[in-house]
Amino acid sequence: MKLCILEADRPAEDFQPAHGTYAGMFERWLTPELPGVEFSRVWVRGGAPLPEDPAAFDAYLVTGSRCGAYEDHPWIPPLEAFLRAVAAARRPLAGVCFGHQIMAQAFGGKVEKSPAGWVVGRQDHATSAAGAALFDAPRLSALSFHQDQVTELPPGAERLLANDASPNGGLIYRDFPAISVQFHPEFAPAYIRDLLLAASGIRVPEPLAQAALESLSGPTDGARIARGFARFLSGAAA
């Protein structure tokens, strides 16, 4: 299986020696569930060209980003157009955080900065019937770090999971093979911890950051979520 990771960003340089890149995090997360997978990376935010033929890869995954899907960056419209081409080619597509948002925007939904502010730390989510079938669980726990939200669903999209902080926390698309989640199943607690320590009292209010730090000792369902993503991307759950 050939899986292309569309890099919509990389961590700040200070974090990369300890934690690597977003693409590297996804590779470490998915490899146990996709033995034999051949990963490729396209540094989209850095201006690398997108594949000329969406059928060149078996599946695609869009990473997170510190940019907003609604911001005026020259690389965002070509990425949206490419995602629509991937959908038309019926190649499985997945997105996480910014990937979740840019997919929703590309397919006719709406993304906005949430008036509720930051959603950070370990979060519990209830799965819909579709989400329970994909992830084999009625609830999922995962790590979050975001302000933006999908506020209007694209046509043909259905919720996979939700909580009060992220009502549209996961989507599955019924007209073509695509799924996305708002949280970060690929992030390790150590990376979220470093982000929170750097942002506390500056970008994230200190009491919220402290509560999020305390939440990181709890269990998460990263392996279970990886199994669901792997089944979907390999076509087994399409």
Average pLDDT over residues 112-126: 94
CB atoms < 10 A from the CB of 137, how many? 18
Q: Quickly count: other Cβ atoms within 10 Å of residue 10's Cβ.
A: 19
What is the average pLDDT across 157-162? 98
What contacts 119, CB < 8 A, 6 or more positions away? Answer: 144, 145, 146, 147, 165, 166
C-alpha span between 107 and 152 (Å, rounded): 11
Distance between CA atoms of residues 80 and 91, nearest Å: 15
Residue pair 177/169 in contact by the 8 Å Cβ criterion: no
- Does position 235 have pLDDT exceeding 90, yes or no? no
Integer-rounded Cα radius of gyration of the chain: 16
Q: Quick check: 171 pLDDT over 70?
A: yes
212-226 tens-digit pLDDT:
999 999 999 999 999
Comparing 115 with 8, which gets the higher pLDDT?
8
pLDDT at 236 exceeding the cut of 70: no
Mean pLDDT of 137-158: 97
Q: What is the mean pLDDT of the chain?
A: 96
What structural domains does the chain harbor? 2-188+221-233 (3.40.50.880)
Closest CA to 157 of 101, 237, 119: 101
Instruction: Judge contact between 115 and 167, C-beta under 8 A.
Output: no
Evaluate if residue 176 carries a pLDDT over 80.
Answer: yes
Residue 146 annotated to the active site: no
C-alpha distances out from residue 158 to 65, 128, 200, Å: 23, 9, 34
Residue 4 annotated among the catalytic residues of the structure: no
Q: Are the CB atoms for 93 and 59 separated by under 8 Å?
A: yes
Rounded to whole angstroms, how far apart are CA atoms 152 and 143?
Answer: 23
**pLDDT, position 238:** 45
The active-site residue out of 19, 100, 146, 184 is 184
38 carries an active-site annotation: no
**237 has pLDDT over 80:** no
How far apart (Å, rounded) are the C-alpha atoms in residues 45 and 231?
Answer: 28
Give the pLDDT confidence of 22-76 residue by residue, as tens digits. Answer: 999 999 999 999 999 999 999 999 999 999 999 999 999 999 999 999 999 999 9
pLDDT digits 0-9 by tens, 92-110: 999 999 999 999 999 999 9
| Beta-bridge mates of residue 140 | 125
Cβ atoms of 37 and 3 closer than 8 Å: yes
Catalytic entry in 97, 100, 125, 146: 97
Nearest to 10 by CA among 123, 34, 19: 19
What is the C-alpha separation between 157 and 159, in angstroms, rounded? 7
